[in-house]
Amino acid sequence: MTQSFKKVHAITGMKDVLPDSSAQWQQLEHTVRQWLASYGYRNMRTPILEHTRLFTRGIGEVTDIVEKEMYSFTDALNNEHLTMRPEFTAGIVRAAIENNILYDRPQRVYSLGPVFRHEKPQRGRYRQFHQIDVEALGFAGPDVDAELILMLARLWKILGLKDIRLELNSLGQAAERAAHRDALIAYLEQHRDVLDEEALRRMYTNPLRVLDTKNPAMQEMANNAPRLFDFLGEESLAHFDGVRRRLDDAGIQYTLNPRLVRGLDYYNLTVFEWVTDQLGAQGTVCGGGRYDGLIELLGGKSAPAVGFAIGVERLLDLCSQSGPSVAAAECQVYMIHQSDEAQRAAVGLAEQLRDAGLAVIVHAGSSGFKSQFKRADASGAAVAVILGGDELAAGTASIKWLRADALEGQAQQEAIPQDRLVTELKQRV
C-alpha cells in the first residue's frame, strides 16, 4: 500500500508566476532593460545570500527591515550568519567596493530580481517580491538625482501609467539631522501620552522614523513635529534647489512632503517616492534617494551615490488596471499528424520552420484529429499544419488558419507542396 503524501504548498507570501501570466512579466522586463539602456545603465547581478552584518550595518539596526523582516539563518555547515537580501543596494555597494569598480569612474548600474522580507502578506505586500533596482554610484550633484526622477517619469509614460505622482523631500546632512533630532526628541518627550509602543521604543534610537508612523492616533502629533526641512543649511538647500529646478525644466510635477523619511537609515539629501491611489493601502510603487555615506560606511573609499527601487508586483498590478493582459501564445504553428510516419515527417518540417524563425509545436503522442485540433486552438497558434495519409502520399501539407485575425482573406484550408511550406508560412504567419 502506498502511503498518501501530504501536498506541499508554496511558502506563505511567496507567489508562483504561471505560464499564462509570465508574458506580462517578460514584456515588462524587456521594456525596462531597453529603458535603462537608453540612459546608459548596465546590468549587475549580486548573490541573493549575503552576510547578515552587511544589512544590519548598511540598512541600520533600528529599521523595520532589520528589526523584523529579514530571512536570516545560520549556515549549519560553517556557522556563518546569512540573510536573503531584503533589498539590493547594500549588496551592490558591497560588490562595487570589493571589485573596485569605482576606481576610475562612476558607474550607472541596475539589477532585477527577487528580494525577501518577512511581512504580513496582503495585496501589494509579499514575502518574496521583485524589485527593479537602479543605482548611480560616484555621482554627487543634483543633476543625477534629477536624471533618475526624469527616467522614472519616462518609464511611466512608456507603460501608459497616469495616476502616479511624485513626492519629494530632503533629509539634509548628518549634522543637520543631529540638530533636528535633538529638537524632535524634546518634542516627542512632551507628547509621550500619544506615542504607541513602537514609537516609545524608537524615540531615542530613530526618532525620525517615529514620524513615518501609520498609526492614525499619532498623525496630528507627527504633523506638528519640528521639521527637518527647517534645519537644513545653505548647501543642502542649494542641492535640493538644483533638483527642483531640473524637475521644473522637464515639466515634472511633484509634492513636497516634509514627512517623507523612507524606511532605511542610509539616506541623505534628496529622497522621493512615486505613489498611486489605484492600489489600495500599498500605494508606493517606487522609492529612492541619495545615500552619500553608505559606501564609506561599508568600508569603501568615500563616494556619493543615489538610487531607487521599483516594486515589480505593484507596478504590474497598476499596469494591468489600464487593460487586461493577453496570455502569450504557445507557438505560431501547431503541427497535426495522423500516423507514426507522419509524425516523423512533421518533426523534420518543424525543424525547417524553426530555421526560418517560426515557433512550432509538433503534437505529442497520437490522438484523433479532433482532439489534436482542440489542442492547436488552445495553443494560440495562428495556423495548424496537417499531415495525414493523403498529404503524405501527395507530398503536401494542409494548412488551416485558426484565428480570424490570422486569416485575413486567406483561404481557410489549403494544400501546399511540402517543399514550399517554409516559404509560404514565413511570408504569411
Tell me which residues touch ligand ATP (CB under 6 A): 87, 117, 119, 124-126, 129, 131, 263, 282, 284-287, 309, 311, 313-314
Q: How far is the CB of 257 from ligand ATP (least distance, A)?
A: 13
- Residue 87 or 292 with smaller CB distance to ligand ATP: 87
Q: How far is the CB of 193 from ligand ATP (least distance, A)?
A: 26
Q: How far is the CB of 275 from ligand ATP (least distance, A)?
A: 9
Helix, strand, coil abundance in the chain, percent, nearest 5? 40, 20, 35
**Cell 506541499, located at residue:** 8
How far apart, in whole angstroms, are the C-alpha atoms of residue 49 and residue 415?
57
Contact indicator for 102, 96 with CB cutoff of 8 Å: yes
- Residue 131 or 206 with smaller CB distance to ligand ATP: 131
Distance of CA 263 to the CA centre of its chain: 18
- Residue 48 or 327 with smaller CB distance to ligand ATP: 48
Q: Which of 327, 303, 323, 423 is nearest to 380 (CA)?
A: 327
> Angle at CA 198, nearest 5°, toward 215 and 312?
65
Q: By CB neighbour count within 10 A (0-12 exposed, 13-18 middle, 19+ buried), where does 236 fall?
A: buried
Residue nearest ligand ATP, Cβ-based:
311
Q: How far is the CB of 329 from ligand ATP (least distance, A)?
A: 29
- Residue 64 or 424 with smaller CB distance to ligand ATP: 64
Contact indicator for 315, 365 with CB cutoff of 8 Å: no
How far apart, in whole angstroms, are the C-alpha atoms of residue 409 and residue 386?
20
- Residue 269 or 285 with smaller CB distance to ligand ATP: 285
Known binding-site positions for L-histidine = 87-89, 117, 131, 135, 262, 266-267
Q: How far is the CB of 87 from ligand ATP (least distance, A)?
A: 5
Element (H, E) at 95: helix 89-98
- Residue 59 or 336 with smaller CB distance to ligand ATP: 59
**C-alpha atoms less than 13 angstroms from C-alpha of 397 in its C-beta half-sphere:** 29
Q: How far is the CB of 142 from ligand ATP (least distance, A)?
A: 21
